[in-house]
Structure 1
Amino acid sequence: MTALGFLYPGHSAEDDYPRMEQLLGSDIRLDVVHTDIGTDAHRVDALLEMGAPERLAAGVGELRMAGAESVVWACTSGSFVYGWEGAHDQVRTLAQAAGMPASSTSFAFVHAAREIGAGRVAVAATYPDDVAGLFADFLRAGGLEVLDVRHAGIVTAAEVGTWGEEEVLALARQADTPDAEAVLLPDTALHTAAHLPALEKELGKPVLTANQVTAWEALRLTDRRVNAPALGTLFTREPIVQV
């Protein structure tokens, strides 16, 4: 049994995790601990507060008790808002507090894009324009070329959590460009685990979504590779070799 730990802010799309657990197989457990979201707002000040070290540290004891082998801060905006170096400091502090390998959803996107050989990407963000731009900056700092950024302008995670497949597909279509090798949907408040096959079929290319890459990153930290095609190209058996 491989136990994976996730610190998830508030309550929006956490039901993606039991869905992914079912698709990953019986020897993998996804343990979710909810952190204090503070102010539910995609604003820089609120996001910095949401990702503060003391908020994350408050949840690691429960994950240790559950036997987690790795921990991922399951929040994209609450990690990239710190910038590339600040986000590294955030996960280093989390790893020290947890006593296990740690990462965040923002780094998961960079690592996942590299895994599938996608150097040129398009971003379909639920966030307001300024926050979506910070995510694009983070991806560029990680060596990715961002071809287009579309934003839905949604301020709260609560509203994002109400979106269904139709809204998710529409946003992804708006962001996609012919030269993009993958489309990225960066919000762990967005339900996407059930929509990955439809997204990839609609766009004809890999799609990376926040909760999907978060689960994959937790596995990566434990040196596990799982074949789960229902979770998209990222979870196919063999990685695409980047040249």
Structure 2
Amino acid sequence: MSVTVGMLYPGFGAEDDYPFLEDALGGYARVPLVHTSVGVDAHEVEALLDLGKSERLLEGAAALKASVPDAVMWACTSGSFVFGWEGAHQQVAEIEAALGVPVSSTSLAFVEAVRALRFTTVAVAATYPYDVAQHFAQLLGTAGIEVLELVSHDIKTAALAGELDHDGVLALARSNDSPAAQAILIPDTALHSARWINELEAALGKPVLTANQVTVWQGLRLAGEIHSTDRLGTLFRDAAVLPQ
């Protein structure tokens, strides 16, 4: 059985993570992607509120209908967490009403992934400036997840985050290897990460959750079919729901 999880992905950055994720899942899942419109590419609160506004997401959702998705993800961390806990849920509720299928976002996927692994403490290694990254920590806190340490790298745009290579992503992950944290969270779907999750976990000695990884996992969870795989870190090994 195949399942289709539609992705609403803002602009361009690490969208090539998604074909890799399809392959790593063994071909049972399709993740068609629609690029939603972007006003100003900036890791600034006002720009991110504009990025995640209803008009942009509903326009993208209309384009996804042709893929007949079983579930849909707003594949953006910052463009969801800046709306806060209630706002992030309202954001996906509007898309859900338009498409009639389950919908979530990357920020909410991080919450569900941490809960699925039964963790309560995390560290965050963020690409964003500190004032933006704090909104992510606040959303996690609202969900009952304690952020023990938050490190910000002050990368100004999604495009620049997308330029980080293997060594840059590894250095970012290592920048917040908080010993007491049960997992390291690396938000930003513009950041390449999917190919290196197992390596990141080996380097840090604990689970690592990255934006594109948790986005696909959450979409599959909503669609009701997650196969276990050893290629995508602890999350897909220990928090997969095997089909009956």
TM-score band by shorter chain is over 0.9
Report the counterpart of residue 35 of structure 2 in structure 1.
34
Q: How far apart, CA to CA, are the structure 2 residues paired with 1:220 and 1:148?
A: 28
Hey, what does 1:23 align to over in structure 2? Answer: 24
CA distance in 2 between counterparts of 1:192 and 1:50 reads 22
Alignment partner of 1:216 is 2:217 = yes
Distance 2:239 2:196 in 1: 22
Paired with 1:177 and 1:237, the residues of 2 have a C-alpha distance of 22
Residue matched to 1:133: 134
Deviations 1:82-135 (A, max 9, x none): 000111111111111122110000000000011112210000000001001111
Aligned residues: 240
Tell whether 2:125 aligns with 1:124.
yes
Q: With structure 1 as the length reference, what TM-score do the two structures score?
A: 0.96
Matched with 1:99 is 100
Alpha carbons 2:117, 2:238 under 8 Å: kept = no
Q: How does 1:27-66 map to 2 (within 5 A)?
A: 27-66=28-67
| Preserved CA contact (<8 Å) 2:6 2:69 | yes
Q: Which residue in 1 is equivalent to 2:146? A: 145
Give the C-alpha shift of residue 63 in structure 1: 1.6
Partners of 2:240 and 2:151 lie apart in 1 by: 28
- Name stretches of at least 5 consecutive residues in structure 2 with no aligned partner: none
For residues 210 and 81 of structure 1, the distance between their equivalents in structure 2, rounded to whole angstroms, comes to 15
Gaps of 5+ in 1: none
| Distance in 2 of aligned mates of 1:126 and 1:96 | 32
Task: State whether residues 42 and 128 of structure 1, in contact with CA within 8 Å, keep that contact through their aligned partners in structure 2.
Answer: yes
CA contact (8 A) 1:126 1:160 kept: yes
1:184 corresponds to which residue? Answer: 185
Once the 2 structures are TM-superposed, how far is the Cα of residue 182 of structure 1 from its aligned partner? 0.2
Distance 2:53 2:47 in 1: 10
User: Secondary structure, in 3 states, of the residue corresponding to 1:148?
Assistant: strand
Q: Which residue of 2 aligns with 1:86?
A: 87
User: For residue 210 of structure 2, what is the amino acid of its counterpart?
Assistant: T
Percent identity of equivalent pairs: 52
| 1: CA distance, partners of 2:231 / 2:100 | 32
2 CA distance for matches of 1:59 and 1:98?
Answer: 11
Between the aligned partners of 1:77 and 1:238, the Cα distance in structure 2 is 24
CA RMSD of aligned residues (A): 1.2
In the superposition, the TM-score normalised over structure 2's length comes to: 0.96
Deviation at 1:62, TM superposition (A): 2.4
The alignment status of 1:195 with 2:196, answered yes or no, reads: yes
Contact 2:7–2:32, Cα closer than 8 Å, also in 1: yes
State the 1:237 CA deviation. Answer: 5.1
Letter in 1 for 2:55: E
Q: Assess if the C-alpha contact under 8 Å between 1:129 and 1:153 holds in 2.
A: yes
